[in-house]
Structure 1
Amino acid sequence: MSMLTPPGMGGKYRITGDKFPHMRRRPRGRGRIALVLAASAAVLGLLGWGTFQLIGVFVDGGTADAASGPKHCPRPSARPAQVKKVPAPDQIKVNVLNATPREGLAKKTADELKKRGFTIGEVGNAPKTYDKKVKAAGLLLGAPTASGGAFDVLGTQLTGAGTRTDTRKGGDVDLIIGDGFKQLTTPAAASKALATLRAPAPAPAPKC
């Protein structure tokens, strides 16, 4: 045994002469290191993408573009509902015309409409164009501007009346009483219909 041989080591580890044994080293876990690096890169990528999403939401006021994800609709503001603007009965001049063979029907109807607040114009028989030719309860005739305004208000007083526009320039409306007419709607029903007509319209939804 050589003096260079450590105590207790003999056999193949015995050192003789000028040659030294080489200890075989175990190879390092290269595969494990590569796996750890790949996992770290994936985690960093997810964190970066999430941060980009949050920045986009706050910068755009709650809206992300199509590339970064779904759009977020802002909350609607607490705006009051819009009340529908319809003319009052006293702002509507009504000509009551009778197209039926029943006498006195135009005056009776005109008197009742006057009690309900309408302004009464001409009262009499319908012209030949409509005389005995209106089969419905009545026909409301007026200028195009009467649509959506005077027609709707006057229509609350008579169920089943049709509407038609002509070339007149004024704001008056003709109520031509037809064969199907029996009576005006009751004051309570007419008031309820008029209140519904004026009911507040819902505030428009926000556009996303």
Structure 2
Amino acid sequence: MSMLTPPGMGGKYRITGDKYPRMRRPRHRRRIVLVAGAAVVVLGAAGWGTLQLVDVFSGGDDTKTTAGRGADCKPAVKATTAPVAALPKPAQITVNVYNATPRSGLAKSTADELKKRGFAIGKIGNAPAAYDKKVPGSGILLGAPGATKGAFTVLGTQLKGATTKTDTRATADVDLIIGTAFKNLDPKATADAALVALNKPKPAPTGKC
């Protein structure tokens, strides 16, 4: 009889040999772990699919783009052209040419050149006492306050560096008072290009990030 056979038991209940039964762990715990893992995977996949559907129907790309912008960034606006204020043509501007320098004949030669460039010429002569020999720059454009909205801009293309000044006159004519630094009007090609640029519409600013 084996030592493992309980007392009083024999026959078919007797344990013989040198091999012993092995104890196995219950398998139900492993099944629980596997089932739980599979459930996590399924729930994760379902959640991801839901997010993708929401993103598609709610325009997710635009939302992400907006979120990535800075607080001061504004949506881009389509490029448009800003309207240009109507400027008078040279023929619509009457220019009085006055010489405030010691050089004689300067007012006449300058007036002749302006006439060739399409400007209407008014008075020609020496500058009034208030300006005679007192204009150190290339010249002064003098006119009524309304001249600042057009006449000064157009006439200014003919002489860069000329300053502007307004007075109380009621007429639309403009004075060109030639200063001691004056040499010549700007080259005609340069002045013509400046006139063309004045009449070109400028693109309106667009938002950028």
TM-score (structure 2 length as normaliser): 0.69
* Matching residue within 34, 47, 50 for 2:49: 47
The change in CA–CA distance for 1:141 and 1:36 in structure 2 (over 3 A counts) is farther
Report the counterpart of residue 188 of structure 1 in structure 2: 189
The change in CA–CA distance for 1:155 and 1:49 in structure 2 (over 3 A counts) is same
Displacement of 1:156: 1.5
The one-character-per-residue Cα deviations of 1:116-146 (angstroms, maximum 9, x if unpaired) are 1112222222222222111111111233433
User: Within 2, Cα distance between the matches of 1:197 and 1:46?
Assistant: 58
- Aligned residue pairs total 183
Report the counterpart of residue 3 of structure 2 in structure 1: none
Displacement of 1:36: 2.6
Structure 1 unmatched ranges of 5 or more: 1-9, 13-23
The change in CA–CA distance for 1:125 and 1:32 in structure 2 (over 3 A counts) is farther
Report the counterpart of residue 160 of structure 1 in structure 2: 161
Judge conservation of contact 1:63–1:73 (CA < 8 Å) in 2: no
User: Within 2, Cα distance between the matches of 1:112 and 1:166?
Assistant: 26
The one-character-per-residue Cα deviations of 1:169-189 (angstroms, maximum 9, x if unpaired) are 443322110001111122222
Q: Which moved more, 1:89-98 or 1:130-139?
A: 89-98
Alignment of 1:193-208 (within 5 A): 193-205=194-206
User: Within 2, Cα distance between the matches of 1:11 and 1:172?
Assistant: 136
Judge conservation of contact 1:83–1:199 (CA < 8 Å) in 2: no
Query: Helix, strand or coil for the counterpart of 2:159?
Result: coil
User: Within 1, Cα distance between the matches of 2:109 and 2:158?
Assistant: 14
TM-score (structure 1 length as normaliser): 0.69
Q: CA RMSD in A?
A: 3.4
User: Within 2, Cα distance between the matches of 1:133 and 1:51?
Assistant: 79
Q: By percentage of residues, which structure has more helix?
A: 2
Higher RCO, Cα 8 Å, sep 6+: 2
The change in CA–CA distance for 1:95 and 1:52 in structure 2 (over 3 A counts) is farther
The change in CA–CA distance for 1:90 and 1:51 in structure 2 (over 3 A counts) is farther
User: Within 2, Cα distance between the matches of 1:115 and 1:128?
Assistant: 29
Alignment of 1:168-183 (within 5 A): 168-183=169-184
Query: Helix, strand or coil for the counterpart of 1:156?
Result: helix
The one-character-per-residue Cα deviations of 1:14-57 (angstroms, maximum 9, x if unpaired) are xxxxxxxxxx8521522332233233333333333333333333
Query: Helix, strand or coil for the counterpart of 1:90?
Result: helix
